[in-house]
Amino acid sequence: MIRDVEGLSAREFDIAVVGGGIFGIAIAREAALQGLSVALIERDDFASAASANSLKMVHGGIRYLQHADLPRIRESVWDRRTLLRVAPHLVEPLPIVIPTSGWRMRGRGVLRAGMAAYDALAWDRNRGIADPARRIPSGRLISRAECLRQFPMLPERGVTGGALFYDAQMYNPPRLALAFLRSAVEDAGAVAANYVEATGFIQQAGRVSGVRARDVLTGSPIDIRARLVINAAGGWAGKLLGDALGMRLQPPPTFSRDTCFIVSRRLFDGPALAIQGSTQDPDALVSTGARHLFLVPWRNYTLVGVWHGVHRDPDHIQVTERELSTYLAEVNEACAGLDLTREDVGLWNAGLVLFGENRPDAVHLSYGKRSRIIDHEGTHRLPGLITVLGVRFTTAPGVAQRALRLANRRLGRRTAPFAGHRTPVFGGAIEQFEAFLAEATSGMPADLPDATRRQLARNYGTAYVDVLRDVDHDHGRLERLGNSDVIAAEVAHAVRNEAAVRLADVVLRRTELGSGAYPGEAAIHRAAELMGEELRWTPSHKREEVDHLLAYFRSRGAHVSKTIGSTTGSGR
Say if strands 38-42 and 191-194 run parallel, antiparallel, or are unpaired: parallel
Name the amino acid, one letter, at 453.
R
Who's near 170: CB < 8 A, 6+ residues apart? Answer: 56, 57, 58, 83, 90, 91, 176, 393
pLDDT of residue 565: 43
Written as one letter, the residue type at 188 is A
At 107 the pLDDT is: 85
Longest dimension (CA), the chain: 71
CB 73 within 8 A of CB 128: no
Looking at residue 157, what is its pLDDT? 86
| Close Cβ partners of 378 (under 8 Å, ≥ 6 residues apart) | none
Same domain, yes or no: 164 and 278: yes
Question: Does an H or E element contain 491, and which?
Answer: helix 488-497
d(Cα 16, Cα 32) in Å, to the nearest integer?
A: 11
Domain region containing 10: 5-50+174-251+370-410
Asked if residue 186 and residue 104 are part of one domain, the reply reads no
Question: In the chain, how many domains are there?
Answer: 3
Report which residue type is found at 83.
L
Residue 563 lies inside a defined structural domain of this protein: no
In a domain, 562, yes or no: no
Cα–Cα distance measured from residue 135 to residue 117, given in angstroms and rounded to the nearest whole number:
18
Domain of residue 39, CATH code: 3.50.50.60
Cα dihedral 489, 492, 493, 494, rounded to 10, equals: 120
For residue range 201-221, what is the model confidence (pLDDT) as tens digits? 999 999 999 999 999 999 999
DSSP 512: S
Residues 79, 33 share a domain = no
> Domain check: are 320 and 452 in the same one?
no
Neighbours of 363 (CB within 10 A): 10
109 and 216 inside one domain? no
Report yes or no on 424 lying in a domain: no
Last residue of a domain, one of 315, 330, 355: 355
- Does residue 254 sit in helix, strand or coil? strand
The stretches in the chain having pLDDT less than 50 are 285, 563-572
Length of the chain: 572
Does one domain contain both 75 and 165? Answer: yes
**Residue 527 shares a structural domain with residue 437:** yes
Rg, Å, the chain Cα set: 23
For 29: left if phi > 0, alpha if psi spans -120 to 50, otherwise beta; the answer is alpha
**Per-residue pLDDT tens over the stretch 527-556:** 999 999 999 999 999 999 999 999 999 999
Identify whether 134 is part of a domain: yes
Q: How far apart are the first and last CA of the chain?
A: 24
Q: Give the C-alpha separation, 144 to 149, whole Å.
A: 8
Instruction: Round to whole Å and give the CA distance between 324 and 259.
Output: 10
> How far apart (Å, rounded) are the C-alpha atoms in residues 344 and 296?
15
pLDDT at residue 67, rounded to an integer: 83
Same-domain check for residues 117 and 128: yes
Are 246 and 257 within one domain?
no
Provide the 3-class DSSP secondary structure of residue 413.
coil
Does some domain include residue 417? no
The 3 state secondary structure assigned to 331-397 is: HHHHCHHHCCCHHHEEEEEEEEEEECCCCCCCCCCCCCCCCEEEEHHHHCCCCCEEEEECCCHHHHH
Q: What are phi and psi of 348, to 5 degrees?
A: -110, 150
Same domain, 379 and 405: yes
Question: Is the domain of 483 the same as that of 516?
Answer: yes
Which long-range CB contacts under 8 A does 208-217 form with residues at least 24 apart?
208/376, 208/382, 208/383, 208/384, 208/385, 209/384, 210/12, 210/16, 211/16, 211/18, 211/41, 213/8, 213/41, 215/5, 216/43, 216/44, 217/501
Q: Is residue 155 part of a domain?
A: yes
Beta strand 385-389 with 372-375 is antiparallel
DSSP type of residue 155: -
Distance of CA 503 to the CA centre of its chain: 19
List the Cα angle 311/91/96 in 5-degree steps: 75
Please report the pLDDT score of residue 277 as a whole number: 77
User: Is residue 170 a contact partner of residue 91, using CB atoms and an 8 Å limit?
Assistant: yes
pLDDT of residue 336: 83
In a domain, residue 338? The reply is yes
Contact 16, 231 (CB under 8 A): no
Is 227 contained in some domain? Answer: yes
Give the number of other Cβ atoms within 10 Å of residue 320's Cβ: 10
pTM above 0.75, yes or no: yes
Q: What is the CATH number of the domain that holds 126?
A: 3.30.9.10
> Distance between CA atoms of 184 and 557, rounded to whole angstroms?
35
67 and 158 share one domain: yes
